[in-house]
A and B are shown apart, each in its own frame.
Chain A
């Protein structure tokens, strides 16, 4: 929970988290080394200096670090794990559902555990997926359509087997389909960022929500034009959020586009932890205003109400969380009692400012 200077309170759902092991011992090949090295550049390139970790810590961080960064320092109420297997690069995978489950089981109120499937696993994969859903009460999945495997150069949500899996999701009540639309590593001749297939899937499966992770970056315009036609398409703000620090002008421009085309009800905050730390993202986002020129040219604004929805309330709706009831439980748990809550109406800094003026 975050409380701003004016006393407004924000229930924070961080909708995209990882708990990875990219240590040299777990790296299978040069791709494993290259993958985490690229993540580290994302991290160090966009974070404020005081939030940049040493490389070794970044490769593998422990549970305590993660729990305290999110729930004590970072204002996060609930976090959603989005697994990333990458078993071709890492001996035990990068960030699997099973690994994340360890934290979920210890702190059930604090985490939502998502799973994953790959339609190329066909019948056997369907059964394994169903088992995971039953075991952990899964409500969402994270999908990587561009993942290369054997002779296959990725897959599409339109593929017959993918449709079987989506039907299974409807049947099991796994209603949130997070689709990664972002950088891929294989030399496809097509544009790997293409978001067109979302359109078709969203039309055919109106009971499911499609959350496009990274808002289709770097094809945000294509994403917006699809989302405007499909009410069950959402934008996950992972990777866009940190722009707010080193590139605020571009953050404002892209946010204005998203607010114009999708509106404030269909955007989800996330830190992509441990890519970035939620503490500074939440603080800067709550403080952020669209520049007047951008607001007037696009006709949108980023109000307190919009920020409340984006930071948490939209995700609460997708994952059936009651922020009031759930929030009061969280404030009493081991993190809630120690958690920072932001500047608040009468925090020292704000008070000093008032006195000074």
Chain B
């Protein structure tokens, strides 16, 4: 069994830009993808030559991991193109180095904390629309007391927004049992029914920041790569 192009694309669709909380595929960061038997080659591009190497490292690393996880994948390469540290990142990730090993004089730690920091923001952003809907449907007091139950979306919730929110909850390893409270702050603390408006005011700021950053990045990517951005170069060769 060998992986298909579709399977490879789907795997990359599960890899997120940690800062923008959107997938590399949705952001058009995948420049090309080739599957040839068990060999998969992908090229990743970013909005600027200078995009933070730390985030780039996480994305390239996650992409390699996702593709290696496909059944039948025997050789995976992900190249970071048109980037000030492209070669070094490509080679270091392929060799399985940690970030600090890749940049021994320019980094003094690993990227776990950075990733977590942005997962906390993503949680707040994905929670906001669901919590607003809950307030409207059941009121503040009932909203903060809601339990997860079987995890299915309540009738008042947009199913997609609900599922995205639950995904961000899982990323933070929050309790997902039936008795777990649906809406907490990003540290898992209880939300006061009387303070929801203030809480949501802060959440709005986080969302606006993330959305405008996403717009900026996609605009720069379009300026850099021009028309035809959506046409990937893909190739599938039967083994």
Chain A positions within 8 Å of B, measured between CB atoms, are: 30-31, 34-35, 37-38, 41-42, 44-46, 148, 151, 153, 183-192, 217-222, 224-225, 243, 246-247, 250, 253-254, 256-257, 261, 297-298
Of B48, B114, B216, which is in contact with the most chain A CB atoms at under 10 Å from its CB?
B216
- Where chain A touches its partner, the secondary structure class is helix
- Of A38, A153, A224, A247, which one neighbours B205 at CB under 8 angstroms? A224
Of A189, A191, A250, A257, which is in contact with the most chain B CB atoms at under 10 Å from its CB?
A189
Give the total of B residues in contact with A, Cβ under 8 Å.
Answer: 42
On whether the beta carbons of A218 and B216 are closer than 8 Å, the reply is yes
On whether the beta carbons of A187 and B54 are closer than 8 Å, the reply is yes
On whether the beta carbons of B208 and A253 are closer than 8 Å, the reply is yes
Report A-chain residues with C-beta under 8 Å of the C-beta of B206: 221
Report B-chain residues with C-beta under 8 Å of the C-beta of A298: 204
- Of A42, A184, A187, which one neighbours B220 at CB under 8 angstroms? A42
On whether the beta carbons of A220 and B208 are closer than 8 Å, the reply is yes
> Which residues of B73-109 have CB atoms within 8 Å of chain A's CB atoms?
84-85, 99-100, 102-103, 105-109
On whether the beta carbons of B48 and A247 are closer than 8 Å, the reply is no
Interface 0/1 of B163-196, CB less than 8 Å to A: 0000000000000000000000000000000000
A146, chain B: closest CB distance, angstroms: 10
On whether the beta carbons of A188 and B107 are closer than 8 Å, the reply is yes
Known A-B contacts A45-B219, A189-B109; the reply to A254 vs B49 at CB < 8 A is no
On whether the beta carbons of B212 and A191 are closer than 8 Å, the reply is no
On whether the beta carbons of A187 and B106 are closer than 8 Å, the reply is yes
Report A-chain residues with C-beta under 8 Å of the C-beta of B213: 217-218
Report B-chain residues with C-beta under 8 Å of the C-beta of A38: 48-50
Nearest residue, chain A, Cβ from B213: A218
24 A-B pairs within 8 Å (CB atoms) are namely: A41-B223, A45-B219, A45-B224, A183-B48, A184-B50, A184-B52, A187-B53, A187-B85, A187-B102, A187-B107, A189-B99, A189-B100, A191-B52, A217-B213, A218-B209, A218-B213, A218-B216, A222-B209, A225-B202, A246-B219, A247-B219, A250-B211, A250-B215, A256-B208
Report B-chain residues with C-beta under 8 Å of the C-beta of A35: 49-50
Nearest residue, chain A, Cβ from B105: A151
A122 to B106, CA, bound (A): 22
- Of A46, A153, A243, which one neighbours B106 at CB under 8 angstroms? A153
Interface 0/1 of B50-86, CB less than 8 Å to A: 1111100100000000000000000000000000110
Nearest residue, chain A, Cβ from B100: A189
Report B-chain residues with C-beta under 8 Å of the C-beta of A148: 106
Task: Tell me whether B110 is interfacial, beta carbon within 8 Å.
Answer: yes
Known A-B contacts A189-B100, A218-B212; the reply to A45 vs B220 at CB < 8 A is yes
Nearest residue, chain B, Cβ from A192: B52
A123, chain B: closest CB distance, angstroms: 26
Known A-B contacts A187-B85, A221-B205, A221-B206; the reply to A45 vs B106 at CB < 8 A is no
On whether the beta carbons of B114 and A189 are closer than 8 Å, the reply is yes
Interface 0/1 of B204-239, CB less than 8 Å to A: 111011111101100110111000000000000000
Report A-chain residues with C-beta under 8 Å of the C-beta of B107: 153, 187-189
A212, chain B: closest CB distance, angstroms: 14
On whether the beta carbons of A250 and B212 are closer than 8 Å, the reply is yes
Report A-chain residues with C-beta under 8 Å of the C-beta of B224: 41, 45
A186 to B219, CA, bound (A): 23
B8, chain A: closest CB distance, angstroms: 28
Report B-chain residues with C-beta under 8 Å of the C-beta of A183: 48, 50-52
Of B109, B206, B210, B219, which is in contact with the most chain A CB atoms at under 10 Å from its CB?
B219
